[in-house]
Chain A
Amino acid sequence: MSNLRAGFYFLVFYIFSETIFSPLAVNGVKPDLILILTVILSFLYGPPRGAFFGMIGGFLEDLFFGHFIGLNMLVKMISGFLAGVLEGKVYPENWWFPGIIVFILTFIKDLLYIVFLNLLGINIPMVEAVMKVVPIEAIYNLFLTPFIYYFFYRSVRRKRP
């Protein structure tokens, strides 16, 4: 997948998440479509490209709504790299597996993000966030991932003999 195409997918996913998925928040918690897409692409293309895809997705988030340019880029880059490490180690036919990675990476990504925000002077109560927000987001992401993965896996398989 070309970087331009990946950028286009990230933009579409970003618009979906701010318009379609925001009103569908569960207890005020929204899914992270950019993380889901980063993990799926990293799982299919490996760590270096995964980290780069994460940077593209994070940069878009930072530009549109973020106030700290670079923060989402950094967190999504780390998530992409970690997910990419599993490329080739697990059969991509396991449609449920990316969901599990997304579930775990949601915790890592949010913890990193809260730590970085606190470093930048934005205080978010860590315990309350971990108890009230992160588990709901992780479960929401877990259920959405297989549907999105199916679409991308099919398009990649069609291109690779």
Chain B
Amino acid sequence: MAKRYWGKTLLIGVLLTVLLLSLARYTTRELPFFEGLKSGLKDLTYPVVRGASYLMEGAGNITSYFKDINALRREREKLVQENTALKFELNKLKEVEQENFRLKAMLGYSQENPQFDLIVSKIIARDPANWYKSFTLNQGKSSGIAKDMPVLDQNGLIGRVINVASLNAEVLMITDPRSSVAAVTYFSRVPGIIKGTALSSELIMDNIPLNLEIRPGEMVLTSGQGGIFPKGIPIGYVVSVTKDPSGLVQVAKVRTYVDFDRLEEVFILKGRR
């Protein structure tokens, strides 16, 4: 009797495994039905999620209220110093920019100077799974957010919008293993593809030709290829470079400028003004 029970259980188990794996394989493609269902569910649970996130925020504010006042004073002094240095730097850059305009005008060179519209949005929920890196924002279609819009903060690139509901939107971070971004190094202009590894703050820069030299510490930026991310957004810096196991290309480990675990607010690049 017990043998029959286990035999039946095993058969059902195998059948369900094959069925569910086939379903998973089928849904690797973007299917409008599931996208719509997901957006609907997210809109439906939005008030509860927003409320829970509001509570968490409140709890965070209480703890930060009791933060050591001396630490805040030290931080303020450091910020004032940094601010002064940055103002000086900014003035210098403004002069360079003016010079650049003058020289371009002299050469008759016209180039569009893109000005982007930014939407500030708050993170209200994160994907609870450790193998995916995505989060939900408190704004959606009603605020003008659309699929594939780039998301960043003051330190650099965060990801892109992958699913939009009317009140919220889901963002795929560049650390997610499903993400890939066309990138280039700042000094040596070495191109490559940035891929996520699902391990926080570590990215892989793949497909680097063997004949090109790439040095640790070099800055990595978006290259603008692929049409989703504009050119020149900082991503991170090279930590190490190794040969790919195939021996045909090089692979670099890249550490991000953005601290993905502490993100609270982000900017969505809405488009050119």
Contacts and interface: CB of A to CB of B under 8 A. Distances in A.
Interface in B49-69: 49, 52-53, 55-56, 60
Given A19-B52, A27-B200, A125-B197, A69 B24 contact: yes
Contact of B260 (A28, A47, A77, A117): A28
B177 interface: yes
Chain A at the B interface: SS class: helix
B84 interface: no
B19 to A, nearest CB: 8
B266 to A, nearest CB: 15
Interface stretch (A60-68, A87-95, A96-104, A150-158): A60-68
A68 B9 CA distance: 25
A30 interface: yes
Contact of B49 (A19, A27, A71, A137): A19
A92 B11 CA distance: 30
B124 A19 contact: yes
A104 to B, nearest CB: 17
B199 A133 contact: yes
B107 interface: no
Nearest to A47: B9
Interface string B15-50: 011011111110110000010011001100100110
Given A69-B27, A122-B177, A19 B13 contact: no
Given A19-B53, A69-B27, A29 B130 contact: yes
B130 A14 contact: no
Contacts of A120: 24-25, 28
B177 A124 contact: yes
A17 B42 CA distance: 15
Given A18-B136, A19-B124, A128-B199, A68 B28 contact: yes
A65 B24 contact: no
B260 A30 contact: no
B134 A70 contact: no
B126 interface: yes
Contacts of B128: 14, 17-18, 21-22, 30, 32-34, 61, 65
Interface of B: 9, 13, 16-17, 19-25, 27-28, 34, 37-38, 41-42, 45, 48-49, 52-53, 55-56, 60, 124-132, 134, 136, 170, 177-178, 197-201, 260-261
Given A18-B49, A20-B52, A129-B199, 14 more contacts: A11-B45, A18-B136, A21-B128, A22-B125, A28-B130, A30-B126, A32-B129, A47-B9, A64-B42, A65-B132, A67-B27, A67-B132, A70-B27, A124-B131
